[in-house]
């Protein structure tokens, strides 16, 4: 089965019908059963891991009264397991040039488990039972590609949830937009037509070809990922849940910090809450917290050198932007309020190109290859 395939569409329709036709007290369990069946058919290893993490998180991490060391030990075990899988994936991709799939949804449900364990330890979760936590972890719409939604909002929706034609209508509309982004805009326009356009360019225009390939890659990543998120959010709405948004027009951001507030919002807010705040408070160095956060975001995708470079590249970008804010008042505002739209447009163009050039680091096999691409684009003569 493919993500966003017609089979997945059939799964969504079947699960939604089963969910609302089940007696109210069995609805959530019908969803848990559907998730288990889906994983059993497509990724049995992932099902076993999910079950182990659910049990370990609930019984292992413990509530606020337990020792902090127990919580830290739990986090260390969960992070080590995720890193081990991602290291394997990174090594296989870099060395053999082939993709090794990590267990389906592992990156998402381990982060959800960590969020739950930390908040429970802090005593900030609403009263609930083991079954509530199982329903949260085995929520089918967000199993595949996130977003990393939070337990309190999920639990609140679960208690208030009821059939609503408005929810269903909004959910269907969102799913349709997701499919349009992936199937029409990404696969046909960006990968199909744009590919053909690049192929027809004269061979001497190597710099232009590489530049357009970078633009294509940036658009493809955004359309794919935000399309998947749209489908997940829409599917959740069909079931009566409103989950966190993942993208907010990130390519219109006017600086790199704003970009990170609009791109993969559920991951960046997770890292901000559980890593940045901690590092910044412990070291009194917000800059260190920012770089550490972006490196972790990079390594979350894959534990490999290329994602480490990508995280550092963005970390440096944010640091430079912060330093620029200090000298900005002396530069004034060239052109005054009349030229603000032009200044904003230039800032957006600069930001989006910084992001697109950064994707070269993860798409090229080595740092040297990435530099060759950049130099061919910037100094083609």
Closest to other proteins by CB, 1 or 205: 1
Q: Determine contact, residues 47/40, Cβ cutoff 8 Å.
A: yes
Could you tell me which stretch among 149-157, 186-194, 196-204, 312-320 binds other proteins (CB under 8 A)? 186-194
Separation of alpha carbons 7 and 1, rounded Å: 7
Q: Which of 257, 53, 269 is closest to 153 using CA atoms?
A: 269
Among 126, 192, 335, 380, binds other proteins (CB under 8 A): 192
What residues have CB less than 8 Å from 217, skipping those under 6 apart? 356, 359, 363
Query: What is the closest distance, in whole angstroms, from the C-beta atom of residue 44 to other proteins in the complex?
Result: 12
Site track 209-228 with other proteins (rule: CB under 8 A), x = hit? ---------------x----
Among 30, 42, 93, 364, binds other proteins (CB under 8 A): 42
Q: Which of 139, 126, 181 is closest to 33 using CA atoms?
A: 139
Q: Determine contact, residues 57/119, Cβ cutoff 8 Å.
A: no
Q: Determine contact, residues 309/361, Cβ cutoff 8 Å.
A: yes
Could you tell me which stretch among 17-25, 75-83, 153-161, 169-177 binds other proteins (CB under 8 A)? 169-177
Handedness of CA 229, 233, 235, 236 (dihedral sign): positive
Find the binding residues for other proteins in span 306-365 (CB under 8 A): none
Q: Determine contact, residues 238/12, Cβ cutoff 8 Å.
A: yes
Separation of alpha carbons 68 and 64, rounded Å: 8
Taking CB under 8 A as the rule, does residue 138 contact other proteins?
Answer: no
Query: What is the closest distance, in whole angstroms, from the C-beta atom of residue 142 to other proteins in the complex?
Result: 15
Query: What is the closest distance, in whole angstroms, from the C-beta atom of residue 3 to other proteins in the complex?
Result: 5
Taking CB under 8 A as the rule, does residue 6 contact other proteins?
Answer: yes
Query: What is the closest distance, in whole angstroms, from the C-beta atom of residue 334 to other proteins in the complex?
Result: 36
Q: Which of 191, 182, 180, 188 is closest to 216 using CA atoms?
A: 191
Among 40, 164, 173, 339, binds other proteins (CB under 8 A): 173
Q: Determine contact, residues 42/104, Cβ cutoff 8 Å.
A: yes
Taking CB under 8 A as the rule, does residue 43 contact other proteins?
Answer: yes
Query: What is the closest distance, in whole angstroms, from the C-beta atom of residue 240 to other proteins in the complex?
Result: 20
Query: What is the closest distance, in whole angstroms, from the C-beta atom of residue 1 to other proteins in the complex?
Result: 6
Among 71, 82, 104, 214, binds other proteins (CB under 8 A): 104
Taking CB under 8 A as the rule, does residue 98 contact other proteins?
Answer: no
Query: What is the closest distance, in whole angstroms, from the C-beta atom of residue 193 to other proteins in the complex?
Result: 11
CA distances from 192 to 57, 149, 213, 215, 330 (A): 45, 33, 12, 14, 47
Binding site for other proteins (CB under 8 A): 1-6, 42-43, 101, 104, 144, 173, 176-177, 179-180, 182-184, 186-188, 191-192, 224
């Amino acid at each position: 089965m493919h993500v966003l395939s017609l089979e997945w569409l059939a799964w969504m329709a079947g699960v939604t019908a089963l969910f609302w036709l089940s007696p109210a007290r069995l609805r959530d369990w019908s969803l848990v059963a559907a998730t288990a069946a889906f994983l059993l058919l497509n990724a049995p290893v992932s099902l076993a891991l999910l079950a182990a993490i659910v049990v370990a998180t609930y019984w292992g991490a413990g509530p606020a009264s337990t020792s902090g060391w127990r919580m830290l030990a739990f986090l260390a075990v969960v992070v080590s397991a995720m890193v081990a899988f991602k290291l394997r994936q990174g090594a296989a991709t870099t060395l053999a040039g082939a993709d090794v799939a990590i267990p389906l949804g592992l990156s998402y449900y381990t982060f959800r488990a960590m969020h739950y364990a930390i908040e429970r330890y802090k005593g900030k979760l609403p009263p609930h039972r083991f079954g509530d936590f199982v329903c949260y972890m085995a929520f089918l719409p967000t199993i595949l590609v996130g977003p990393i939604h939070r337990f309190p909002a999920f639990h609140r929706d679960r208690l208030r949830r009821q059939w609503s034609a408005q929810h269903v209508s909004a959910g269907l509309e969102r799913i349709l937009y997701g499919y349009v982004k992936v199937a029409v805009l990404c696969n046909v326009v960006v990968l199909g037509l744009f590919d053909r356009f690049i192929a027809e360019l004269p061979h001497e225009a190597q710099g232009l070809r590489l530049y357009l390939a970078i633009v294509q890659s940036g658009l493809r990543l955004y359309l794919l990922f935000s399309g998947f998120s749209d489908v997940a959010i829409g599917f959740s709405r069909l079931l009566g849940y409103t989950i966190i948004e993942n993208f907010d027009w990130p390519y219109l951001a006017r600086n790199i910090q704003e970009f990170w507030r609009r791109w993969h919002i559920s991951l960046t807010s997770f890292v901000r809450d559980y890593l940045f705040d901690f590092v910044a408070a412990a070291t009194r160095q917000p800059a260190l917290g920012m770089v550490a956060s972006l490196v972790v975001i990079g390594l979350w995708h894959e534990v490999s050198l290329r994602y480490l470079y990508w995280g550092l590249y963005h970390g440096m970008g944010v640091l430079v932007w912060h330093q620029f804010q200090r000298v900005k008042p002396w530069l004034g505002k060239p052109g005054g309020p009349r030229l603000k739209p032009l200044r904003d447009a230039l800032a957006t163009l600069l930001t989006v190109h910084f992001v697109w050039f950064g994707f070269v680091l993860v798409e090229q096999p080595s740092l040297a290859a990435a530099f060759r691409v950049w130099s061919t684009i910037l100094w083609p003569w």
